[in-house]
Chain A
Amino acid sequence: MELVQMQKSLQDYTKSLFLEGVLDSQFLQLQQLQDESNPDFVSQVVTLFFQDSDRILNDLSLSLDQQVVDFKKVDPHVHQLKGSSSSIGAQRVKNACVVFRTFCEQQNVEGCHRCLQQVKQEYYLVKNRLETLFKLEQQIVASGGVIPAMELGF
C-alpha cells in the first residue's frame, strides 16, 4: 500500500515538475533511454549535469566579478550551460540561459548579473527537485517497487 502511495506521489511529483516547467519532454526522452543495459542512465547524466553546471556557474561568477568583463569568455559558458540544460530537459534553466545570452550580446553587465542570479536560482531549483525525485525513486527501488513509466503524452 505504501509502495503504491509512493509510486503515486512520484508520478504526481514528476507531473508537477513538468507543469511548473522545470522539466520538459527531453527529460522524458532521457528516461526512455534508460533500460536494462543502462539502469541508472538518467541519474548519471543528471549528476554529470550538476558537476558541469557547478563548474560553469562558478566560472561565470568569477568572470562577471571582474573589473572588465570579457564577454567573449562569458558567452561560451552560457552556451554550454544552455546546451547541457536543454539536453537534460531543464527547461527553465535553458530559458534563463537564452535571456542571459541576449544580455551577453548586448554586453550588458548589470543584466548579466541579474541573469546569473536567475540562472542560479533556476539551477538550484531544478537541482533540488531532481534530487528529491531521485530520492523518491531510490525509496521506491529500495522498497522493491518499480518506477512507473511516465506517460504524460507529450
Chain B
Amino acid sequence: MSIACELSNPNLKKTKAAESSVGKWIIISKILLFRVFCGLLCLSALICLCFSFSSCICNNKQDEAAESSSSSKGMLFRNQNVSRSEIDAMLSLFFDSNQVTSFECRKESNDPGMLENYGITCSLSTRVEKEEEENEEEEAKKIKRHVAELMSSSSSSFEENEEGVHHELVVLFYVMNKWHWWWLVLSVLVGGHVIFEFHQRKIEVSSFLQDKQQCKRSGRWRKNMLRLGILAGVSLSVLWFWDTNEQLLFQRKETLTNMCEERARVLQDQFNVSMNHVHALSILVSTFHHGKTPSAIDQKTFSEYTERTNFERPLTSGVAYALKVTHSERERFEKEHGWSIKKMEIKDQTLVAGFDPAPVQDEYAPVIFAQETVSHIVSVDMMSGKEDRENILRARALGKGVLTSPFQLLKSNHLGVILTFAVYNTNLPHDATEEERLNATIGYLGASYDMPSLVEKLLQQLASKQTISVNVYDTTNASSVIKMYGSEVGDMSEEHISSLDFGDPFRKHEMHCRFTQKPPIPWLAIMPPGFALVITLLLGYIFNEAINRIASVEEDYQKMMELKARAEAADIAKSQFLATVSHEIRTPMVGVLGMLKLLMDTDLDAKQMDFAETAHGSGKDLISLINEVLDQAKIESGRLELEHVPFDLRFLLDNVSSLLSGKAAEKGIELAVYVSSNVPAVIIGDPSRFRQIITNLVGNSIKFTQEKGHIFISVHLTSEVREPFETEDEILKQRLGSDETSCNTLSGYPAVNATGSWRNFKTFQDHSCDKKTELLVTVEDTGVGIPFDAQSRIFTPFMQADSSTSRTYGGTGIGLSISKRLVELMQGEIGFVSRPGVGTTFSFTGVFGERERDSSALELLDQSIQEFQGLKALVIDSRNIRAEVTRYHLQRVGVSSVDIASSLATASGKLVNLDLVLIDKDAWNKEEYSDLLKEQPSTRPSPKIILLATFTTPSELSEIKSSGLVDEVVMKPLRMSVLICCLQETMGSGGGKKRQTNRKPKNLGKLLRGKKILVVDDTAVNRRVADAVLRKYGALVTCVDSGKAAVAMLKPPHDFDACFMDLQMPEMDGFEATRRVRDLEEEMNKKAECSRKWHTPILAMTADVIQATNEKCIKCGMDGFVSKPFEEEELYSSVARFFDK
C-alpha cells in the first residue's frame, strides 16, 4: 500500500511540473484568472476534504491511517469479505498510471450524481506514459480514468458478491467519502476548462469581429462562469449535506450495533451461567440420589435445596428431576413411590399436568423431584410431552444441556424454554458414544426458563433501555421463526441482528434490536450546508446583479462611444463646412469691396458717397467676421499653424494702439501701453496672431467700456511676475500692491486687481524655468464687466455674456474663443477676472523665441534715439502709473533720466537743469503753471514743455498752443514714432529735415534694377504686359511662351535672377515646369557641391489668389506668388524677399 502511495507522489510532482510548463505558453490573463479561481476552489475543497477526513477517522475509531488509500483499503478490508489480493489489485489500479491499462468507464445508474458533471460514456484504451502527461487535459483524463477504474472495480466486485450488497454500498460510501471532493474539484476543473476552451475557440474564431460582440461574449462568459459557480456551490452543499447525513446514519447504526451486541452477549452469558448451575444440580442429583443408597435426597430435600439455591439461577422458574423408567420397571416404580405415572396433557394451549395415568410406553420419565414452584409436575411423565421427549432424547444423546423451542409455560403463561440435562450413572468421558450415553442415563434434570422475564430482568440491568427495543427469536426453523420476547414497536426501517448462542448447537436464537424512535431530523447535517447554499445563492445573486450591471454599463459605454464618434465627426464636418463656406463667401466679398472702392473713387454726390461708404464699411465688417469664422474653423480643424518670425513687440503694440486709439478716443477712453524693460526687443513668434489676440481683447474692452476710464495694455515676463517681490518694475509693483478699491490706476477709475486673472495659470504653479521667453500680457479695462453667471462660458464660440449683448454691442462672440485657441497654440494660457460695474482684466501668456536686436529694422530710429540721449526730463502727472508709462515711452526713445512729480506744485523744486517737461493734461493748470514759471529763475533756457493730452477738441488744442505756454501737445496714446517726431520738432535738433513723412523707403526700381528675369506665359498679351511692367522697374526681361521653354531656359547654369511663371498653360503647366526646374537644380547641386547652390526664385502668376493654390505653389517648389495683373506693392513685397539682401 505504501508503495502505491509512493507511486502516486511522483505523479503529483509531475503534474505540477506539467502545469507550470503549461503556464509558460499560455500567458493570457484570463487564463491566469481562471487558474486562480480554480486554485481557490481546489483549496476550499481541500480544506473541506481534510475536515471530512478527520471526522471520518474519528467516528470510525480507525487507526490513524492518514493516507487515503490505506484507509480506504482498511475500510474495504474490514467491511467486506474481499481478499487481500483483490484489494491490492484494486489499489494498484487506483494509483498505477504508468502502466498500460485498459479500462472502461460507465455511467453508473446508481452513482450519486457525480458523473453527471462529466457526462462521460466512453470506452478508452490508452497507453499512458509519463512523458505524455504534458497538459491539463491529460491530467484530467487520468483522474477520470482513476475514477472510472474505481467505479468499474467496485461494480465488478458488486457483481461477484451479491450477498454483500449492503457491505458493498458501505464500501462505496467510504470510497466516496475519500474521493467525492476530488470529484467535485475535478468536475469544476474539467467543466470550467471545457467552457473556457469553448469560449477561447470562439474568441479565436471571431477575433476579427466587432468589439461589441466581444463584449457581449465576455458577458456571456461571465454568466457561464457564474452558472458554473452556482452549480458547484449548490452541488457542494448538497454533497456536504449528503455526506454529513450519511455519517450521522452510520453513527446511529453503529450505536445500534454496539448496544445490540452488548445485550446479546449479556443475555448469553447470564443464560450460560444459569445453565451451568443446572448442570451442577444434575451432578448433585447424580451424586446424592443415585450414588448413595439409600438416596440422600427426597422430594422435600430437593425442593428445599433448589429453593434455597434459586438465586444462583435467577433465570429459571423452576427445576425438576425425572427418572428414567422403562416400561418393565413401571409397576415396581409406581409401587415404590405410591403413585402412578401420569401423562402430560395440553389444554387450552397450556401445558397442564394431567391426572390420567400415562399410556403404555417403552420408557417413562416421571418427575420425582421438583422445585416448590413447579411441584405440580411431580409424577408427570416428561416423555409424554412431545417437546420434552425430544429434548430428553437429545439431551441424553449429547450429554449437554439442550433447549426446547419456546412454548407456553405451565401456569405462568409466559413463553419459556426447557433446559434439559441428562444424568448419567457413571462419569462418562467426553468422547462417549451415543450408545454408551443412552445406557448410562438414569434420569433427567430439567429447568424451565421464563424468557420474557429473563430478558426483562436483563435489560433492567443495562443502560439506555428506553432507546432501543429488543426482540428475541428462535430461528431454528428458518421458515417459522418463533418470537420469544419483544413487541413489534419502534423504527422498523433499521434493525440490528445479533446471534445468540445458548450452548445448544441445535437451536438457533437471534436478538433483533431497533431504535424505539424514528431518527431525528438531522439538523446537524442540514444547517451548515443550508447556510452554504444560502450563501451560494446570495453570492450568485450578487454576482448576477454585478454582471448585469457590468453588461449594461458596457452597453452604455459602447453607445456613448458611438455617440462620441458621431459627435466628433459632426464637429469636424461643421468646421470643414465653415471653412469652405467662409472661403467661398470671402472671394466674392473681395470683389464687392473692390467695386465699392472703385465706386467711391468715381464722381458721387454726398448722398451717394455716404451710401457707398456705409456699404463699404459693412462689407469690411463682414470680411473681418468671415475671417474670424474662418480662423475659428481653421483652428478647430487643426489647420492653423503659427509662424515663427522675429518681430518687435513694442512696435507691434504701438501699431495696435494707434489703430485703436481712434475708437478709444471717440469713446473718451484713455489707452496706454506699457512693456517691461526686461522684455527683449525682438522676439520670435507669430506677430499677426499676437496682434490679433491683442486687438481682439482691446477691441472688446473698447466695446464694453463706456465713456470713462482706461484701457491699459501691459507686457511683462512671467518670471518677473512669478517673483513679484524682487521685481524692479514700478508698474508691476504698484499693480500687485493695489487692492480692488484703490484708484491707483491709469485713469483713476477703479479696476479689478489684475493678479486674479493669472492666478490660476499653470506656468505660475510649476516653477520650471524655461529658456524661452514667456510673456504675460494683461489688458485692463474699466468697462461694464462680465456677469458672474456668464463668466464660465465666455470662451465658448458664439457665446456672449447674454443674448442681449449682441444686440447692445454687436459682434458674434467668436473673438475670445479664437483668442483662447491662439493663446493655446502659443503654449500659453488665457484667463480673466471681472467684476460687473468695475471692469475686466484679461491676461494671457505666450511662449516666444528670443533673438538679438535686429539692427537693420531699427536703423532709422536708432539715429534719432541717439539724438535724445542725455536729455533730462520731468513728468508731471497726478497718476503714478500713467507717469510710469510715460517714463517707459521716454526711455524707449532714449531719454534716460526721467523724473516724476505728481503735480505742478511738487514739481517746482525739480525744474532745475531740465531739458523736457511733460505734463499730463489732468495735472495741467494754467494759473499754477504760470506761477511755477514765475518762480523759476530764467538764468537758463527754460525746458521745453510738452503737454500730454488724451482727448482734446481742436479748438482747445489751438487755444493751448496759442497761449504759448507749451511747446507741443502730444495726443495719447503715446507711441514711439509720435514721440520721436514731437521731440524732434520741439528740440529743434535736425528740424523737420530728418522727418520722413513718406515711409516708402525703397522702391521697386531699386530692387529690380539690372536683374535678369524670365517671364513665362502662353498669352502674348500677358507676356507683353509683364515684360513692360518689369522693364519699367529696370529689370532685364526675357519672355518665353511655354513651360517647356521655361525649363530649357532655367536649366542650370543660367543667369536668371528670378522667374515669373504662369500657372495655367497648355502642355506643361506652371506647377509641372517648376517641379522640373527644381529637379534639374537638385541634380546640379549634387554634381557641383562646391559652387553655389542653385535655387532660382520662381513666383507664380495667377489670377485667382486662393489659399489652396498658394499652398499648392509652395508644395511644388515655388517661392511665392503674385496676382495678375501686377500691383506694384504686392510685386514689391513678393520680390523683396529675394532681392532685398
Contacts and interface: CB of A to CB of B under 8 A. Distances in A.
Interface stretch (A2-10, A78-86, A113-121, A137-145): A78-86
A108 interface: no
Interface stretch (B2-10, B501-509, B1012-1020): B1012-1020
A83 B1028 contact: no
Interface string A69-111: 0000000100110111111110000000000000000000000
B1125 A26 contact: yes
The 4 closest A-B pairs by CB, nearest first: A84-B1021, A33-B1028, A87-B1025, A49-B1021
A48 B1125 contact: no
B33 interface: no
A81 to B, nearest CB: 8
A52 interface: yes
B48 to A, nearest CB: 85
Given A33-B1028, A87-B1019, 12 more contacts: A29-B1029, A45-B1021, A45-B1024, A52-B1021, A76-B1066, A82-B1103, A83-B1022, A83-B1062, A86-B1103, A86-B1124, A87-B1024, A88-B1025
A8 to B, nearest CB: 16
B598 interface: yes
A67 interface: no
Given A29-B1125, A33-B1029, A41-B1028, A87 B1022 contact: yes
A86 B1066 CA distance: 19
29 contacts: A19-B602, A26-B1125, A29-B1029, A29-B1125, A33-B1029, A35-B1032, A38-B1028, A38-B1031, A45-B1021, A45-B1024, A45-B1028, A48-B1021, A49-B1020, A52-B1019, A76-B1064, A80-B1019, A83-B1062, A84-B1019, A84-B1021, A84-B1022, A86-B1124, A86-B1125, A87-B1021, A87-B1022, A87-B1024, A87-B1125, A89-B1125, A152-B601, A154-B598
Contacts of B1021: 45, 48-49, 52, 83-85, 87-88
Contacts of A35: 1032
Interface string A32-62: 0101001001001100110110000000000
Contacts of B1028: 30, 33, 38, 41, 45
A76 B1103 CA distance: 14
A92 to B, nearest CB: 13
B1024 A48 contact: yes
Contacts of A48: 1020-1021, 1024
Contacts of A51: 1020
A67 B824 CA distance: 59
Interface hub of B1103, B1124, B1126 (most chain A Cβ within 10 A): B1103
A45 to B, nearest CB: 5
Interface hub of B1026, B1028, B1066 (most chain A Cβ within 10 A): B1028
Interface in A8-29: 19, 24-26, 29
Contacts of B1066: 76
Given A19-B602, A30-B1025, A45-B1024, A80 B1018 contact: yes
A6 B278 CA distance: 185
B601 A154 contact: yes
Interface of B: 598, 601-602, 1017-1022, 1024-1026, 1028-1029, 1031-1032, 1062, 1064, 1066, 1103, 1124-1126
A41 B1064 CA distance: 25
Interface hub of B1021, B1031, B1062, B1103 (most chain A Cβ within 10 A): B1021
A83 B1124 contact: yes
A49 B1017 CA distance: 14
B1103 A83 contact: yes
Nearest to A75: B1064
Interface string A121-154: 0000000000000000000000000000000111
B1018 to A, nearest CB: 6
Nearest to B1026: A87
Nearest to B597: A154
Contacts of A29: 1029, 1125-1126
B1021 to A, nearest CB: 4
Contacts of B1024: 44-45, 48, 87
Contact of B1032 (A26, A33, A87): A33
A136 B305 CA distance: 190
A85 B1066 CA distance: 18
A118 B808 CA distance: 48
